[in-house]
Chains A and B, each alone.
Chain A
Amino acid sequence: MLIELKNVCYTYGAGTVYEVSALDGIDLQIHEGEFIGVIGQTGSGKSTLIQLFNGLMKPTTGQVFFAGKDIWADGYDLRSLRTHVGLVFQYPENQLFESDVLKDVMFGPKNQGLTPGECEERAKEALRQSGIAEEFYSVSPFELSGGQKRRAAIAGVLAMDPEVLILDEPTAGLDPAGRDELLNLIKHLRDKRGITVILVSHSMEDVAQYATRLLVVHEGKIAFDSSPKQVFSHYRELEKMGLAAPQITYIMHDLRERGLRVDVTATTVSEAKRSILMALSEHRSLSTD
Chain B
Amino acid sequence: MGEIALGQYYPSNSILHKLDPRVKFIGTIVYIVSLFLVNTWIGYLFCAGFLIVMVILSRVPFHFILKSMKPVFFILVITMLFNLFLTPGEPVVKFWIFTISDQGISMAVRMGARLTLLVMGSSIMTLTTTPNALTDGMERLFSFLKVIHVPVHEISMMMSIALRFIPILAEETDKIKKAQIARGADFETGGLIRRLKSMVPLLVPLFVSAFRRANDLAMAMEARCYHGGDGRTQMKPLRYAGRDYAAYAILAAYLAVCIVFCWRHL
Contact = CB atoms under 8 A, between A and B. Distances in A.
Interface of A: 13, 18, 51, 54, 56, 79, 82-83, 86-87, 89, 92, 94-97, 107-108, 110-112, 142, 156-157, 160
Per DSSP, are chain A's interface residues mostly helix, strand or loop, or mixed? Answer: helix
Given A82-B182, A108-B183, A112-B184, 17 more contacts: A13-B2, A54-B182, A56-B178, A56-B182, A79-B186, A82-B183, A82-B184, A86-B182, A89-B178, A89-B182, A94-B179, A94-B208, A95-B180, A97-B201, A108-B184, A111-B184, A157-B182
Contact of A107 (B176, B183, B209): B183
B128 to A, nearest CB: 18
Q: Give the interface size bracket for B toward A.
A: 10 to 19
A121 B165 CA distance: 41
A83 B183 CA distance: 7
B182 A111 contact: no
A95 B205 CA distance: 6
Interface in B167-191: 175-176, 178-186
10 contacts: A82-B184, A89-B178, A89-B182, A92-B179, A94-B179, A95-B176, A97-B208, A107-B184, A107-B185, A111-B186
A89 B179 contact: yes
B73 to A, nearest CB: 23
A83 B2 CA distance: 29
A111 B205 CA distance: 18
A12 to B, nearest CB: 9
A218 to B, nearest CB: 24
A89 B205 CA distance: 14
Contacts of A97: 200-201, 204-205, 208
B183 A111 contact: yes
B184 A89 contact: no
A213 B182 CA distance: 24
Contacts of A111: 183-186
B181 A82 contact: yes
| Residue from B181, B184, B201, B205 with most neighbouring chain A CB atoms (10 Å) | B184
Contacts of B178: 51, 56, 89
Contacts of A107: 183-185, 201
A149 to B, nearest CB: 11
A94 B2 CA distance: 22
A184 to B, nearest CB: 24
Interface of B: 2, 175-176, 178-186, 200-201, 204-205, 208-209
Contacts of A79: 184, 186
Contacts of B182: 54, 56, 82, 86-87, 89, 157
Contacts of B184: 79, 82-83, 107-108, 110-112, 160
B209 A94 contact: yes
A160 B176 contact: no
B2 A157 contact: no
B181 A94 contact: no
B30 to A, nearest CB: 33
A95 B200 contact: no
A96 B200 CA distance: 11
A82 B180 CA distance: 10
Contact of B183 (A13, A18, A51, A95): A95
Contact of A89 (B175, B186, B208): B175
B205 A96 contact: yes
Contacts of A94: 175-176, 179, 205, 208-209
Contacts of B205: 94-97
B231 to A, nearest CB: 38
A285 to B, nearest CB: 57
Contact of A157 (B175, B181, B183): B183
A7 B208 CA distance: 40
A39 to B, nearest CB: 22
A56 B183 contact: no
A157 B184 CA distance: 9
A160 B182 CA distance: 10
B191 to A, nearest CB: 17
A157 B182 CA distance: 8
Nearest to B183: A108
A156 B175 contact: no
A175 to B, nearest CB: 20
Contact of B181 (A56, A92, A96, A142): A56
Contacts of B2: 13, 18
| Residue from B182, B200, B201, B208 with most neighbouring chain A CB atoms (10 Å) | B182
